[in-house]
Structure formats: structure tokens, C-alpha cells
Structure 1
Amino acid sequence: MITNEFWLDRWLNGRIGFHQEGVNAWLVEYWPSLPKGSHVLVPLCGKSNDMIWLAEQGYQVTGIELSPLAVVQFLGDNDLPYETQQVGDLKIHTVIGLPLRIVEGDYFLFDEKDFDACYDRAAMIAIPEEIRADYVAHTKARLSPNATLLLVSTRHGGGEEGPPFSVEDDSIVTMWGDAIQKVASEDLVQANPQYKERGYAFFEESVWHILPQQS
């Protein structure tokens, strides 16, 4: 069973193979041009440097992360000065000099709304199937009606069950709605021998968009 304690333990023991040191290539290639100052939500953000990249583009970035250790490492590794405010069960760490804040706590307790965009690289695929639809519904409730989404999903077989979990394309469309479109995909077994060594017959990583409707 994947619980909050499972993820806290993964961070405590350094079992964070999902973390990427650099900026994600899909993000750089497929993030759409949005007005400066747009509010971007990054669920289950870990200590991803993708947030710094987004903030440097001029967006107001809010990452949500359960693990206090991940938050401390992100702020410390990047030498970011910050101020902390307790709001209910959540801690809000606001970075000084960069339009970025990290909300520390359970994502399902985060209830701010009207974000202009969401970036999900490794959040939905970290959520077990039994609550995945709840995660998507909670995320959609945080977004404005005409918000942008950049989602990276995985679909795999023959190896470890996950996380990251394998999510079928039709399930993604069912949860996110007909507006979502796949824009790119790659079988990582072909590109990286480690996936084959871990027993995967295929490990497809896909990029999905929901773009604002043109008025």
C-alpha cells in the first residue's frame, strides 16, 4: 500500500530514483508560452529544479511537497533564502528574490484555486490506481477553467509494478477529459539499457497537453 509514510520513508532513506538533477527536457521543449506572472501549480514537486526553470521564465510557481526533507534539500541545495508561514496543517516557504514558494504538507489538504497552469512530471504516476482519479479531480479543482496542463505519464510492462505506475492512455483521457492531447512519446527501453536490465519489455514515457481554448 502506497501511503504518506511510504514516501516519507523513501526520502529518509534516499530511495529517490524519480528525482532528476537537471531540468526535464520535455518541460523545456513542450512548455507553452504563457503570460508573465501566470500562476503555475507543481503537485508532488520533490526537490525538482524544474520549478526554478519555471520561475526564471517569469511565472509565479507553487510546488506542493509532503516530505520536509525534500523541501529542506531543495532550498538548501539551491541556496535559496526564504520565509516560512504556518497555515493550518501546511507550511508555506516563500523564496526571497524568486517568484517561487514550496507548500510543505499533504497535497489533498491544499485548497487554493484558480491556477493558470499545472506541471505534472512525476505526480499522477506516483499515485496508486485506487486514488488516482481523486488526485486528478483535486488537481482540476485547483485550476482555472481555461488552464494549461503539461503532464508526463508512463506506460510500461514486464518489469516493476511501480511507482512510477503504468497508466493507460484511455485512463488519462477518462480522468482529464477530451481536451487532453498526447504530443510526444518515447520508449525508454530503446534509449536507456537500464530499463531493459530492470526487466521492462517496454517503458513508454509520454507528454500530454491541455492548452487554453482560443477565444
Structure 2
Amino acid sequence: MMLNETGVITNEFWLDRWKTGRIGFHKEGVNPRLMDYWADLPKGSQVLVPLCGKSNDMIWLAEQGYQVTGVELSSLAVVQFLGDNDLVYSTHQEGDLKIHTVEGLSLRIVEGDFFSFTETGFDACYDRAAMVAMPADRRAEYVSHTLSLLTASAFVLLISLRYDGDNQGPPFSVTHEEIGQMWGDKIQKIASEDLVQTNTQYKDQGYGFFEESIWHIVPA
């Protein structure tokens, strides 16, 4: 998704960000929100990580005993993830997607457009920076597609952002009302933090507030 002359984000936008190293959305180490708020799911649960980048959160999830599938558009991100973690893997093609299966760890990376990934039956989803990477005109489609890949009783851990000011993403600001409309009435906000109060960089960038919220969909 890249910003073309009409202001629409295209796939090339993200590919260019990876190519030029403008990946401020990437965080080193394991996200503490994941460790604090992930549910204690049965070992072997199938976990989906959309728009995974080269996040080490996937390593952490696999080490907990889950079967982890990350989906990422950028081949550079995939190569860096596999190389940075010294992972041995095999690759095969499925249609437009490349499947990289890691040896010795219950982890695979699907390289390609997330909307082309149609495998179903996932028991859980971890979305740290996927929904907020989607422009408004594709956000509902992203959520609908994600939900179509999950079981009816799947657990979801979602991290969202809501902020003011003229600097409009990505990552994009998403209202709580919009999250409820897209994800359904089972989603519940369980924690939030105004990063302006805890990190001076957000105040320096002119934000009046920059709220990070944690959401769960918990199996009934």
C-alpha cells in the first residue's frame, strides 16, 4: 500500500518503507503488552500474526508452545527476521504466497499480501500494528478478513492507537467506537495509557494525547 497521487496508501508504500529503513513501527525485543495481556491458551493453539514485519513477538509466542503463522508483505522484512534470529527454514510456493517454515520452532512466515491469505481455523490472533496500519477505506475489510480466518471462539489481542493533531499516520488513529463496530460486541478494552504522559517524544511531536489501548476478544 503506497501513497499515490490521490493520497491512497498502496502496497508499494510499505515495501518502500522497508527498503529505505523507515520502519519506526518496528520494536526491538518482545512487546511487554504481549507478555502482560496474552491469554493462557492450550499448547498447540494456532496463532495468527497479521502484517507481522520482523517482530520478535512471534518468537516469544512460538516459545510458549503455540503454532505461529505470521503474514508479511515485505520480502526484506522476512529475510531480516529469519537472518537476525539465525533461523533455519524451508520455503515453498502456494499460489502468490511464499511459505517459510522454520525448523525446530513452531513458526512459519507467509510472505505476500495478507488479503491473499485465506487459510482458516486459527485459534487466536495477535494484532500489534496491523489494524492501525490500514487506511480508513480498507480498515473494515482488514478486520472482516481477519475474523474470517479465525474460529468462532478465537482469542484476540489487539493494540490500538487514538491521538489528536495533524500528523495522521500510519499508524492511524482509530476511535473506540470504530473498533466496536468493526470487531463486534465481544471485544472489550482492558487497559489504556496516554503515552504523552509517559514519553516526552509524543508531546514534543505536538500531540495533546496519544492513547494506546489493549483489547481482548475472549472465547465464551
Does 2:112 match 1:105? Answer: yes
**Residue 179 of structure 1 aligns with which residue?**
186
How big is each residue's C-alpha offset from its partner over 1:66-86, in whole Å with a ceiling of 9 and x where there is no partner? 000000000000000000000
Task: Determine whether 1:80 maps to 2:87.
Answer: yes
- Which runs of structure 1 show a deviation greater than 3 angstroms over 4 or more consecutive aligned residues? none
Percent same amino acid among aligned pairs?
71
**TM-score, with length taken from structure 1:** 0.98
Shift of residue 210, structure 1, vs aligned partner: 0.3
1:24 to 15, 24, 31: 31
In the aligned structure 1, how far is the partner of 2:162 from the partner of 2:35?
A: 22
Matching residue's letter, 1:79: D
User: Which ranges in structure 1 are unaligned for 5 or more consecutive residues?
Assistant: none
Greater CA drift, 189-198 or 52-61: 189-198
Indicate the residue corresponding to 2:49 in structure 1: 42
- Alignment-mate amino acid for residue 112 of structure 1: E
Code of the residue aligned with 1:83 in structure 2: it is S
Gaps of 5+ in 2: 1-7
After superposition, where does 1:125-140 map in structure 2 within 5 Å? 125-140=132-147
Partner of 2:3: none
The 5 Å alignment of 1:6-21 reads 6-21=13-28
RMSD across aligned positions (CA): 0.5
Residue 33 of structure 1 aligns to which amino acid in structure 2?
D
Match of 2:101 in 1: 94
Structure 2 letter corresponding to 1:74? F
Q: Show the counterpart of 2:123.
A: 116
Kindly provide the amino acid, as one letter, of the partner of residue 171 in structure 2.
P
Q: How many residues are aligned here?
A: 213
CA distance in 2, matches of 1:204, 1:39: 30
1:159, distance to aligned residue in structure 2 (A):
4.5
Q: Distance in 1 between matches of 2:154 and 2:135?
A: 25
